[in-house]
Each structure stands twice: as structure tokens, then as C-alpha cells.
Amino acid sequence: MSVLDAKIPEGPIKDKWTNHKNNINVVNPANKRLIDVIVVGTGLAGGSASASLAEMGYSVKSFCFQDSPRRAHSIAAQGGINAAKNYQNDGDSVYRLFYDTVKGGDYRGREANVYRLAEVSANIIDQCVAQGVPFAREYGGLLDNRSFGGVLVSRTFYAKGQTGQQLLLGAYSAMNRQIGKGKIKMYHRHEMLDLVIVDGKARGIIARNLITGEIERHSAHAVVIASGGYGNVFFLSTNAMGSNGTAAWKIHKKGAFFANPCYTQIHPTCIPRSGDYQSKLTLMSESLRNDGRIWVPKNMEDVEAIRSGKLKPTQIAEENRDYYLERRYPAFGNLVPRDVASRAAKERCDAGYGVNQTGEAVYLDFSSAIQRYGKEAALVQGEKNASAERITELGEEVIKSKYGNLFQMYEKIVDDNPYKTPMMIYPAVHYTMGGIWVDYNLMTTIPGCYAAGEANFSDHGANRLGASALMQGLADGYFVLPYTIGDYLADEIRTGPIATDSPEFDQAEKDVNDLIDKLMGIQGTKSVDYFHKELGKVMWNNVGMSRNAAGLTEAQEKIRKIREEFWKGVRIPGDRNELNPELEKAIRVADFLELGELFAKDALDRNESCGGHFREESVEESGEQKGEAKRDDVNYKYVAAWEWTGDPGQAKLHKEELEFNDIELKQRSYK
């Protein structure tokens, strides 16, 4: 028997959540006031949770490291959010969203959680519209939808290429209402650096005021970690510069199991890297694959001519282009899931067909869509004899109205006009499906400590479908956690305020102070970024899109070595009692240097290919699926939850066996 109890409610899958809500404890409104909840993070998950909990009556303290809760990384999400509304009447349903998500995750997610996610998805849209979130609309005044990868229906709601911004500003506004009422106390420019456990329960956190450097104690009856993903372990990713794994890692070291760390999403459509100075990578939303077609030249001479600047992509004739996704996956074409699209791009580039100087880029081409939309618009506007230029002009306007900000972003970075020449794109690290292990109630293995949003592991299995992270963040925060946390807090109504002068708080504060003193005291010769980049290189080369046993073993050794060098050689200028961005980075990188090792260990341990985790040892050898990832359900149909033992290389594995009662396990085919 595993020590892990997922606490999945009994009953048929479609009744589980309703029954569970009916059976769990609730706290009476008068008592809620006496209960404090800490929420670390103000992204979609943390922001929506803080607002909802405060509204229900709890006293909430929220934390973020940015200068305002509105700047959490969720703000950057571009393409959209899924919901099973079936407004397009294309056969969508809760079951279909559930099915697509489980299949998309390559059957490595937890069925009951995913079903609940699909079930509450429709409420999210209702809620956001009521809050004044300006989603895109059709001319009739109703909400518009677009399609995302890995599905055959149109269920994605969006606000141009700024969906995350609009949803986050919705959650931020709900928070503001509660901050104004004094129900949420907001601590911006604060970084949580440890969890405090008293008598086995999460009772507070230690945080650093980033302006003054002061170390503060904050107590509560429950702690929610909604600190986002850890994609920046690769140094280069589409995440914001500050996104980090520290909050999750600190609770891991205090007893929360870390699940499936190796499940990372490498997003197929990002702007290729341009030089060593590069500080981050920029996503071009998956929504672009609704209208963009991906290709490389068929002939090597054309590739060479393009690289040497002798030929432009627009000069290559249709028959000399290889639309490799349409060729390999006729059913889904350009809308295959991300893991599949990324590997296919890598395959073409590894074969030598990459179209830029580094050989790591493919085209994303809008010319067909511009023509199609242009002709349609001309007809609608009654311009029967529109000229070719006029059609192009009209078509470009349509594209602009759908993706204007993305095209502008591209043009500013690359200095090339994507309306006229195809975009160049390449895969980049984007999202982490792995994270803190949680049960059905979103509680970690530490009583009273919860994890929500990208910080937890639960819903996306080994590969997340596009537009599902925003859905999960808001589902967790608005609709799941506010119920499930009550079940735990119902036993806390007589506890009274949690004191911060206990020995446990003393110790946790001392640990944080010691850590900072130790870092400041090294006074080595190399910057924090130097070590972060070294780690990133190992992660990308050995633990990236394609992994094998030798490379993963080597990665663990190399990371250990970089970690040792970091603790001997890092230089942090300035003082600890002031705003010190280098110190902030150093604390985060110290944790990445441990997390990275566990990541590689987990990837080595999972000797199968599933979703974004591709093991070269596990590939289909023959038949229609030749060359595709080969899952191993006999040996690996489990969640790998790792327990901290004092050394990431010695973490102890616990398995949560996954059961699939409502969906048949199948080879995932998008052919």
C-alpha cells in the first residue's frame, strides 16, 4: 500500500464532485473571520483563491514578489482558456473536454481531478464575464471561440492575444474589492522563503520583505502555495524572469512530495534564440496554429539558399514546401498537441532543414489564411471584383484583429514583418506539468498546506493541452479550493490565533537567516546568472526534448558539480538589508540547482516515453506509429511522487497508481 491517499470520492465519475461538496464540512460564517489563510502567489490560481476565500469570510494574507499582484506571470498568457460551453454547437461536452484532456496528457493525469476540471470549466466563463472580462465577441454580440491543439472542437475563449492579462485583471479586481474591505492583506514585494510547521500542521511562513530585506513571520491556519511553475530551471524559457521554484521547493524540503518533476512542456511555436546574451524566450501563441501553416523547404538546396540569404521563403513554390505536420498527421494537421509538434520540428531541424543561421527554426506561414479571410471579407463587404492587393489588405486586417499584438511583438523582436514573410519559430520550454503532489482536495502531504495552479501536478498528466492552464488555475482558485479547504478548517475553529513566537517559528526564521548569511558570505568570483546559465545548458542538452539514460545520468553528475561550484564561487554584491536583486536570484538558483537534479533523476527513472517526456529507448519500432513515442502502461502507469531525504539525488520514490475506469487506455494517435 502506498503512503499516498488521493482521497478520490466514491461513486460514478460524474457525481464525485457534487457528492463530495455535499459531504464535506463547512465552516460557519461567524467562525470564518477567526481563521487566517495565507496564499502565496497572486496569479490566476492564487488571485482567484485569495478573492474567493476572503469573500467567504476568511482572513486572507496574500503574497507576491512583484510590485503588484497584477503582475503575476499569468498576465503573459496569450491564446485562450478552454471551457465546455458548446456555444459553437460542434458536439462539445464535459465528457469530451475530460476525454481530450486525459488523452492529451497521455494518460498520466488523475481521472477524477480532470473530470472535475471539465465540469467547472463552464462556470469560469460565466464568472469572468460577470466580472467584466472583455472576451472576444462575434458581430451578434455573443462570445467567440477558437481552436487549440489536440482537439477537434472549438472551445477556447480568448481576448485577442492577451487572454491571461484579461483573466488576471479579473481576478485582481476581485482581490481589490476584498483588499478595499480589509479582508485581504496584500504583501507585495515579499518572497516566501520557508514554511513553518507546528505539531505536524502548516502554520505559517517566513517571508523576506524585498525592499528592506527584513525577515518576517506570518502565521495562519492553512497555507496555500500558488507560486507557478519551475520552467526557469532551464534558464531560457517563456516564463517571466522572476518565475521560480523556491516556494514549491521549500515546502518539498519540509515534507511535501514533489510529483513527476520531469514532465515539462516544450512549446513548438516560440521565437528562435538569437545570441548568447539572450535572457528569455518569447512565445508565439498556439492560437496562431489555427491560421498558420508550418513548413520547411523540401529540398536541401533551398534550405542552403535561404540560409545564405539568396532566397526568400516567399519565393519557394508550393510544391517545394514540406508541410510536415499536415503530411505526418493528416487528421489533426497543424493542430496536433504541443509535444508532437515540437518533436516534429526538432526532427526536421536535426535532419538539416532548419531555416535560420543556427539551423533551429521552421516557418509558420499565414499567407493561405490571409487569402482565405481576404476573399471572405471582400464578399461580405460586397466587393465582388476586389483586386489581389485589396484581398491581401482585407485578409491582413482580419489577421490583425485576431493576433495583432502577437504580430507586433514578433516584429519588434525579429525586425521582420510577419504579415509579408512567414514567422520563424522553434520549440522552447514553456510549462511544467510536474509539481507538488496534491490529493483530490488539493492538499499536499503536509496537513494544512495546499497547492494550486501550475505549482501542483494534478490535471495535465505528461502533456498539457493549450488553453488548459488558465482553466486549471481559475478552477482551483475560484471553485475547488474554497470548498475543499473548509473541510480541513472546520476543525480549526477553536484553535485561536497562531502565535509567531513559538520555537518552530524561531527555528524557521533562523534557518532563513543562516541561508542568506551563507550566500552573502561566499563572495566568490562569478555571478548568479553564470551558474544559472550553466545549469540551463545541462538541462536543455540532456533533459530537454529528447532524453536517454546516459545523458540523464551525466546530467545528475554535472548538476551536482555546478551546485558545489555555486556554493563556493558565487558573488552577491550589496547588502542583505536592502533591495538586492542578485540575492533574490541567488536564493532561487540555489533551489533550481537541487530541483534540476531531482528532475533528471525522475526522467531517468521513467523509462518510457509519454507526453512531453521522450525517452529515446522507448519508441514505436514498426507499423503506422513508427517513430512515435511509446508509452509503457504495464510498468509506468503511476504518478512518481518524491520524498525529500536531505539530498535530491537520494529522494525516495512513492507511487500513486493511476486508475482509468472511464476512459480506455489507448495509443495516442493524431494521424
Ligand X SMILES: Cc1cc2nc3c(=O)[nH]c(=O)nc-3n(C[C@H](O)[C@H](O)[C@H](O)COP(=O)(O)OP(=O)(O)OC[C@H]3O[C@@H](n4cnc5c(N)ncnc54)[C@H](O)[C@@H]3O)c2cc1C
- Distance in Å, CB of 30 to ligand X, minimum: 30
Show the site string, 106-145: x = touches ligand X by CB under 6 A, - = not: ----------------------------------------
Tell me how far CA of residue 282 lies from CA of 240, 267, 377, 409, 590, in angstroms.
10, 10, 31, 9, 25
Query: What count of other Cβ atoms lies within 10 Å of the Cβ of residue 251?
Result: 30
Residue type, 287: S
> What is the bridge-based pairing of β-strands 435-436 and 258-259?
antiparallel
Q: Where are the alpha helices (DSSP H) in 387-544?
A: 388-414, 469-474, 481-489, 503-522, 528-543
- C-beta of residue 107 within 8 angstroms of C-beta of residue 633: yes
Alpha-carbon span 589 to 591, nearest angstrom: 5
| Binding test (CB under 6 A) with ligand X, winner from 9, 43, 313, 418 | 43
Residue 217, contacted partner among another protein, ligand X, none, CB below 5-8 A by kind: none
- Distance in Å, CB of 320 to another protein, minimum: 29
> Which C-beta is closer to ligand X: that of 430 or that of 563?
430
Alpha-carbon span 609 to 632, nearest angstrom: 8
Residue 490, contacted partner among ligand X, another protein, none, CB below 5-8 A by kind: none
Binding window for another protein (CB under 8 A); candidates: 166-174, 191-199, 452-460, 542-550: 166-174
Alpha-carbon span 294 to 286, nearest angstrom: 12
Binding window for another protein (CB under 8 A); candidates: 119-127, 194-202, 360-368, 460-468: 119-127
Residues 6+ apart with CB under 8 A from 22: none
- C-beta of residue 653 within 8 angstroms of C-beta of residue 437: no
Alpha-carbon span 210 to 366, nearest angstrom: 45
Alpha-carbon span 204 to 219, nearest angstrom: 4
> Which C-beta is closer to another protein: that of 120 or that of 489?
120
Query: What count of other Cβ atoms lies within 10 Å of the Cβ of residue 666?
Result: 11
- C-beta of residue 405 within 8 angstroms of C-beta of residue 160: yes
Alpha-carbon span 359 to 353, nearest angstrom: 7
Binding window for another protein (CB under 8 A); candidates: 172-180, 388-396, 491-499, 632-640: 172-180
Residue type, 159: A
Show the site string, 268-287: x = touches another protein by CB under 8 A, - = not: ------xx-xxxx-xx----
| Binding test (CB under 8 A) with another protein, winner from 573, 617, 627, 659 | 573
Residues 6+ apart with CB under 8 A from 311: 302, 305
| Binding test (CB under 6 A) with ligand X, winner from 454, 492, 591, 656 | 454
- Distance in Å, CB of 2 to ligand X, minimum: 26
**Is 208 one of the catalytic residues?**
no
Q: Where are the alpha helices (DSSP H) in 110-266?
A: 111-130, 163-180, 246-253
Q: Does 290 bind ligand X (CB under 6 A)?
A: no
Residues 6+ apart with CB under 8 A from 4: 257, 437, 439, 445, 639, 641, 654, 655, 656
Give the active site residue among 116, 293, 338, 668.
338
- Distance in Å, CB of 159 to another protein, minimum: 6
Q: Does 187 bind another protein (CB under 8 A)?
A: no
Q: Does 42 bind ligand X (CB under 6 A)?
A: yes
Q: Does 128 bind another protein (CB under 8 A)?
A: yes
| Binding test (CB under 8 A) with another protein, winner from 172, 263, 332, 440 | 172
Q: Does 478 bind another protein (CB under 8 A)?
A: yes
Q: Does 422 bind ligand X (CB under 6 A)?
A: no
Q: Does 444 bind ligand X (CB under 6 A)?
A: no
Residue 317, contacted partner among another protein, ligand X, none, CB below 5-8 A by kind: none
Q: Does 141 bind another protein (CB under 8 A)?
A: yes
- Edge-first strand listing for the sheet containing 215-219: 190-198, 201-209, 215-219
Show the site string, 576-595: x = touches another protein by CB under 8 A, - = not: --xx-xx-------------
Q: Does 330 bind another protein (CB under 8 A)?
A: no
- Distance in Å, CB of 63 to ligand X, minimum: 4
> Which C-beta is closer to another protein: that of 211 or that of 550?
211
DSSP state, 137? Answer: B
Tell me how far CA of residue 50 lies from CA of 47, 58, 343, 620, in angstroms.
5, 9, 38, 46
- Grid cell at residue 317: 513554390
Q: Does 179 bind another protein (CB under 8 A)?
A: yes
- C-beta of residue 173 within 8 angstroms of C-beta of residue 69: no
> Which C-beta is closer to another protein: that of 143 or that of 305?
143
> Which C-beta is closer to another protein: that of 239 or that of 458?
239
| Binding test (CB under 8 A) with another protein, winner from 7, 31, 34, 66 | 66
Residue 331, contacted partner among ligand X, another protein, none, CB below 5-8 A by kind: none
Q: Which of residues 165-204 bind ligand X (CB under 6 A)?
A: 190-192
- Distance in Å, CB of 522 to ligand X, minimum: 21
Which positions lie near ligand X, rule CB under 6 A? Answer: 40-46, 63-66, 72-74, 76-81, 163-164, 190-192, 226-229, 238-239, 243-244, 246-247, 283, 285, 430-431, 453-455, 467-470, 473
Q: Active-site residue numbers?
A: 338
